[in-house]
Amino acid sequence: MKKSTLLFISSFTIVFSIYLFAVITFQPELKEEISLYIEQFLKTKKSKLVEVSESAPVKVEKTENLIPFSGRLKKDTYEEHLGVAGKQGLELIRNDYHLFQKVFELALVKIEKGKGYQVDTLTHSFPYLTPTSKEILEEIGLAYEGLAGKDQFFTISSATRTEEQQNALKRRNRNATDGESSHSFGVSVDISYIRFNGIRNWDGNAQKNLETVLNHFQQTGKIYVIKERKQSCYHITFR
């Protein structure tokens, strides 16, 4: 860095520090407002962290309650997916900055590897969901492992996608949703039906187990489902 640039930065820092000191010294009302804001902020973050850490344990679905499924899953309309996303999810997540703002506010939580599921390396979305959506995902994962066997898991191939990402994806992929996507509200994921236990291949038994679980959660009103054949996945929106 040039000497002149360093001198400018140093001078600016000194002047700004003097200005801030003067404001706080001669405007006690402003100082009080800043202190109250910081105190309120810390209390809010602490209460949210306690609330998250003390959340109810994930409900384990008994496998005997799962009716073996054959045939085709009911195809919910995309209008239903988008409608519940607008009501149950966050406001439309516009860009990366907006998304990480929601993460900072704890309105979005990270999903990684859990019982019965694993998140793939995501290139066009972020591994975050609303806390309620994550709870339902974990219920689905536990139900799948209970049916398929210990340490068996399915793969999430897409999660929360910003409006900017959706628009960019649409320019590259004609099959991508035109306009708003339920992925942009923090309540949708795509579950691959050709990737189980980290291996990409066709596994009829694994797919049948997954469809049995998805059918149960669909019938009990916890999710909407669309089977997307071109992407080889089930598009899931948590209700």
* CA nearest to 224, candidates 211, 213, 209, 239: 239
Confidence check: pLDDT of 24 > 60: no
* 234 phi and psi angles, rounded to 5 deg: -105, 125
Across 17-21, 60-64, 126-130, 150-154, least confident range: 17-21
Confidence check: pLDDT of 11 > 70: no
Segment 180-197 mean pLDDT:
96
DSSP code of 196? E
pLDDT digits (tens, 9 = 90+) for 110-161: 999 999 999 999 999 999 999 999 999 999 999 999 999 999 999 999 999 9
DSSP code of 230? T
CATH number assigned to the domain with residue range 63-238, chosen from the 4 options 3.30.1380.10, 3.30.420.40, 3.40.50.720, 3.40.800.10: 3.30.1380.10
Confidence check: pLDDT of 4 > 70: no
What pLDDT, on the 0 to 100 scale, is given for residue 178?
A: 59
Segment 218-237 mean pLDDT:
96
Residue 64: pLDDT band with limits 50, 70, 90 = low
Which residue is listed with tokens 């607008």? 86
Torsion angle in degrees (nearest 10) through CA of 38, 44, 50, 51? -170
Share of the chain above pLDDT 70, in %: 70
Residue 54: pLDDT band with limits 50, 70, 90 = very low
What pLDDT, on the 0 to 100 scale, is given for residue 238?
A: 98
**Helix spans in 27-95 (H):** 28-53, 78-88
What pLDDT, on the 0 to 100 scale, is given for residue 46?
A: 47
**One-letter amino acid of 94:** R
Domain extent listing, the chain: 3-53, 63-238
CB 134 within 8 A of CB 175: no
Cα distance between residue 208 and residue 188, in whole Å: 21
CB 234 within 8 A of CB 164: no
* CA nearest to 214, candidates 139, 126, 151, 118: 139
